[in-house]
Amino acid sequence: MMGLACDIGGTNTRVGLVLDGKVLQDSLASYPNDDFADFYQLIDAYLNRVGQARIEAVCIALAAIATAQGAQLTNRNWTIERDKVAAVCGTGYVDFINDFEALGFCLAQVELLATTPLVVGNGALRNGPRLVLGAGTGFNAAAWFPPRFGTAAHVSAAECGHITLPLQGEEEFFLQAALSRGRGRASVERALSGNGLVEIYQWCCQRSGRSPQFQTAAEVSSRAVEGADPDCEQAADMFLRLLGRVTGDLALAFLPAGGIYLSGGVTRALAPLICSRPTFHHAFCAKGRMAEFMESFSISLLLDDRAALSGCAEWLRLSGQ
């Protein structure tokens, strides 16, 4: 039974065919959203391209909350109606899932995805829950719990970007004041996102007395990785300290003995520094008498930007489609 997996991002939409709970690698495609007037045209173009006339079930991952009727994209003027997707695809089975929930479901088949190890755990832990988290436009996480009592696995959705940003010590107290200005508080994604990295960079510039030279997270992260600018390097160092601490806190909440997977554009851009500098892992392990326990977790980078499609495939499999 052939299914369709879609991952609608802010810029591109990725699409693939699903058979027996797996994405067919030859069927993968990615389209710039700007090339289409609406989502239905995009899907229509895809189905024509792959020559697939009959789709039995559809699963769409997106950064929006779906209703019975469909979903409204938050960062683009696209409304996606369930009925219209059904008409284009010729099936009545259309599910919407949150983009991070999709990443949670893809952890069931993470062995099939491209990953690279960042931290190898000390071997005490192997099996158990898996956690995916990451910083991109925003921040979020999802946990995958393996089957227990002979039943199916479970995925938990979250809104971790809105958790209180955990800060400590005098330097970070001043950072908190800067990030909270005009907002009353600082959430995790106030720092751990593309905009967050830029705000941390501007704060570093203010402290060093230099004028900010860069405007985007891509610029700040690439200069930091190259070691080409002291303010970018300091901003990246603070970002990785906070990311390590938050990742450690979420590890204590979900106990992902089966591994932690980092995703997201900003995380990926700064990943070389996670390996080459102690900042991230030091902050991750700094949990008092739990420090040794924290060293048992393995942490990998999720390279495959089609991971959410695998999550849609897993969702369709679990749904019996």
* Binding site residues, a second copy, CB under 8 A: 129, 141, 143, 145, 148-149, 151-152, 154, 156-160, 162-168, 170, 173, 176, 180, 183-187, 245, 248-250, 252-255, 286-290, 293, 318-320
Output 125 or 225, the one with its CB closest to a second copy. Answer: 125
**CB closer to a second copy, 176 vs 310:** 176
Q: Which is nearer to a second copy, 81 or 159 (CB)?
A: 159
Q: Are β-strands 154-156 and 260-263 bridged in parallel, bridged antiparallel, or unpaired?
A: unpaired
Q: How far from 238 is each of 103, 191, 277, 282, 283, CA to CA, in Å?
A: 26, 9, 12, 12, 10
CB 295 within 8 A of CB 1: no
Calculate Rg over the CA atoms of the chain: 20
Residue 114 or 124: which CB sits closer to a second copy?
124
CB of 62 to a second copy, least distance (A): 17
Minimal distance, residue 2 CB to a second copy, in Å: 20
Least separation in angstroms between residue 211's CB and a second copy is: 29
Cα distance between residue 147 and residue 195, in whole Å: 38
Alpha-carbon dihedral angle through residues 114, 218, 262, 193, given to the nearest 10 degrees? -150
Which residue, 52 or 180, is less far from a second copy as judged by CB?
Answer: 180
Interior CA angle at 89 toward 79 and 53, to 5°? 150
Minimum CB–partner distance for residue 129 and a second copy (Å): 7
Cβ closest to a second copy, residue 90 vs residue 147: 147
At 107, list the tokens.
Answer: 């952890």
Residues pairing with 261 in the sheet? 132, 300
Asked if residues 157 and 145 have their Cβ atoms less than 8 Å apart, the reply is no
* Smallest distance from a second copy to CB 138, Å: 12
Smallest separation, CB 255 to a second copy (Å): 6
**Angle at the Cα of 110 (from 106 to 115), degrees rounded to 5?**
120
Task: Choose between 62 and 165: whose C-beta lies nearer to a second copy.
Answer: 165
Please state the closest distance from residue 245 (CB atom) to a second copy, in A.
6
Closer by beta carbon to a second copy, 51 or else 148: 148
Task: In whole angstroms, give the CA distance from residue 80 to residue 88.
Answer: 12
- What is the closest distance, in whole angstroms, from the C-beta atom of residue 197 to a second copy in the complex? 19
Residues near 111 by beta carbon (within 8 Å), at least 6 away in sequence: none
- Cβ of residue 143: shortest distance to a second copy, in angstroms? 7
- DSSP track, 40-109: HHHHHHHHHHHT-----EEEEEESS---SSEEE-SSSS-EEEHHHHHHHHT-S-EEEEEHHHHHHHHGGG
Query: Identity (one letter) of the amino acid at 187?
Result: S
Nearer to a second copy, 55 or 160 (CB): 160
